[in-house]
Amino acid sequence: MGAKFSCKRIAEGYAEGEIIISKDAVCYYLVEPETGLVVERNHDLEGRNIAGKILMMPSGKGSSVVQADGLFKLGRNQKSPLGMIIEHADPVLVSSALIFEVPLVHKVDPEFYKQIKDGDKIILNATEGWIEIL
Amino acid sequence: MKLTPEEKDMLDGKYGEGVAAAMKIQVAMGETFEAECMVPITRAHVALSAQDADLWFVDKLLKLGAHCKVSPTVNPSIDLKYLNKHLFEIPKAGVDIVSATNEAYKKIGATLTFDCTPYLQQNVPGFGEVIAFSESSATPYVNSVFGARTNRESSQSALCAAITGLVPKYGLLLDENRKGEILVEVEAKVETDFDYQILGWCYPELYKGLEIPVFTGIKSRPTPAGFMNFGAQLNTSGAVSMYHIVGITPEAPTLEAAFGNNTIKHRVKITDQDLAATREKLCREPGKIDFAMFGCPHLTIDQVETIAKTVGERKFAVDFWVLTSSLTRELADRMGYLDVIQRAGGHIIADTCIDVPPCWQPYYGKNAVTDSPKCAYYNEIRGIKFKIRPLEEAVEAAILGEVLK
């Protein structure tokens, strides 16, 4: 058992996997739908792959259409992130996560941010509102 | 969240499965943002996109029997007939998805304006009006410039609102959340419509939070195109759904009014050097171009006039596209600008978006010029390398076939 932290559910679900941490807001349109590779120029995650990982980021960004379409296409190719942890919820990302059923939480215990490192294995239980660092 | 008995019935399916599905998403959103209740809307705008996720969702709601209670205006699609005649034979996949999307939106009860600047024509809200607007340039415009009230809806959540006629009451619908928290002191010279493109892109690079920024140091009122550019870039580079400009926007007659009871949480200074750095990073080096594209968001009649007057009797060396609303195209025709642009070898196409794959396929991977960072940004995924320049300079580049500086 690792350290457990509280969070608040936005879109329900359970995910277990490696965390990938982005300092920049993410727009799913600039993630290659066939692979999950971030292709946005000058982005913190440029050249890294988010497929099958739990993505931690400050917030979503981008036009109201493209966030949903990006996430939908990744999902169809099974290259979505397994779950998302965000600091600032915005309606575009929230509705996309709800509609395409990707577990999403916010309001995470600040202690979590002190302990978590890129690449750590975690459990994200959005339904019950907790995260565990394994 | 407190729901009225009627709203509970909507959620429970007494008004049909379509209404229930829309309501379920809206209630989950309301709970995320701690809304206490739902409130009625009087207008909606849906950022239709003729892309996979969009069609999938409208189709899903249609199959569940949904129909819009408040008919929304919609974003551009593609004028298939025009592109077929003047660009290339659009692949079947493109024709299919565009036709299916247009048909689905008509069936669900949308008003097919096919324009991403509804706030300039066709769907113009008043001060304090509660509405549900998606589309990145539209949300900041209606909130900031008009003082209407919408959250940063996605196309999906705006469609849900059009169906239920309701939105959860949270965020920018509440007085206290419309006040500024970030003071942005603009020391840079910001005058032209293009300056607002760069300022709009620059601010979210300097501060990433979603709090409302209050801009000072803007000397005169931006034009409608300036406001349009500013909001489009603020909400593409970042996720800014409302801003104040002290002395200019209606909820910010003074600095005190803009901040209300909030204290200044963070200060950002934007100098000429900051704007130059953004421009340097964003706008790409000079060089040869294969085509020119304008209209993300759709150009205003003033911008079309600027193009016509800049080109005059000269000819474009490369393909030249102006994207605008059907009303503005009609007006451009009436004013003679359409003739000028067509004689130069350019096009004005209505109802069409810069980004509906695969409808602009012949240009994928090419070099181009535009005046819009948003246009450039969303085309990165198609391998189109847009150089970004002020409108007049971009027109000159299209005449020459090359961006000189």
The pLDDT-based confidence of B75 (bands split at 50, 70, 90) is: very high
Q: What is the pLDDT of residue A58?
A: 94
Residue in chain B closest to A38 (alpha carbons) equals: B381
pTM: 0.91
Rounded average pLDDT over B139-149: 98
Please, are residues A63 and A96 in contact by the beta-carbon 8 Å criterion?
Answer: no
Alpha helices for B221-325 (secondary structure H): 224-237, 255-259, 272-282, 301-311
- Structural domain span for residue A14: 4-133
From the CA of A60, how many Å to the nearest CA of chain B?
8
State the DSSP string of B190-203.
--SHHHHHHHHHHH
Q: Is A64 a catalytic residue?
A: no
Among A12, A41, A64, A66, most B C-beta atoms within 10 A, so best to mutate, is A64
- CB-CB under 8 Å, B239 with A61: yes
- CB-CB under 8 Å, B210 with A68: no
**A30: domain CATH number?**
3.50.30.10
What is the SS3 assignment for B297-360?
CCCCHHHHHHHHHHHCCCCCCCEEEEEECHHHHHHHHHHCHHHHHHHCCCEEEECECCCCCCCC
The pLDDT tens digits for A8-20 are 999 999 999 999 9
Please, are residues B173 and B125 in contact by the beta-carbon 8 Å criterion?
Answer: no
Residue in chain A closest to B51 (alpha carbons) equals: A69
What is the ipTM, given to two decimal places? 0.84
How many whole angstroms separate alpha carbon B239 and alpha carbon B252? 20
How many whole angstroms separate alpha carbon B236 and alpha carbon B222? 19
Instruction: Please pick, among A63, A80, A95, A96, the residue that the annotation labels catalytic.
Output: A63
How many whole angstroms separate alpha carbon B323 and alpha carbon A36? 31
Element (H, E) at B376: helix B373-379
Right CATH for B283-403 from 3.40.50.300, 3.30.499.10, 3.30.70.260, 3.90.1150.10: 3.30.499.10
Superfamily covering domain B5-175: Aconitase, domain 3 (3.30.499.10)
Among A71, A92, A96, A127, most B C-beta atoms within 10 A, so best to mutate, is A92
Q: pLDDT exceeding 70 applies to what percent of chain B?
A: 100
How many whole angstroms separate alpha carbon B206 and alpha carbon A110? 23
The answer, yes or no, to whether residue B356 has pLDDT greater than 70, is yes
The pLDDT-based confidence of B358 (bands split at 50, 70, 90) is: confident
From the CA of A54, how many Å to the nearest CA of chain B?
20
- CB-CB under 8 Å, A60 with B239: yes
The pLDDT tens digits for B103-132 are 999 999 999 999 999 999 999 999 999 999
Whether residue B171 lies within 8 A of chain A, CB to CB, comes out as yes
The answer, yes or no, to whether residue A64 has pLDDT greater than 70, is no
How many whole angstroms separate alpha carbon B143 and alpha carbon B179? 12
Tell me the backbone φ, ψ of residue B268, rounded to 5 degrees.
-125, 135
From the CA of B219, how many Å to the nearest CA of chain A?
29
Residue B89 burial class via C-beta count within 10 angstroms: exposed 0-12, middle 13-18, buried 19 and up:
exposed
Average pLDDT, chain A: 93
Q: Structurally, how many domains does chain A consist of?
A: 1
Q: Which residues pair with A105 in a beta bridge?
A: A9, A85
- CB-CB under 8 Å, A11 with B210: no
Rounded average pLDDT over B354-382: 91
In this chain, the answer to whether the domains covering B5-175 and B283-403 adopt an identical fold is yes
Q: What is the pLDDT of residue B319?
A: 98
Q: What is the pLDDT of residue B364?
A: 96
Q: What is the pLDDT of residue B136?
A: 87
Identify the DSSP state of B145.
Answer: I
Q: Domain segments of chain B: what residues? A: 5-175, 179-280, 283-403
The pLDDT-based confidence of B196 (bands split at 50, 70, 90) is: very high
**Residue B71: how many other CB atoms lie within 10 Å:** 16
- CB-CB under 8 Å, B154 with A96: yes
How many whole angstroms separate alpha carbon B148 and alpha carbon B144? 8
From the CA of A92, how many Å to the nearest CA of chain B?
5
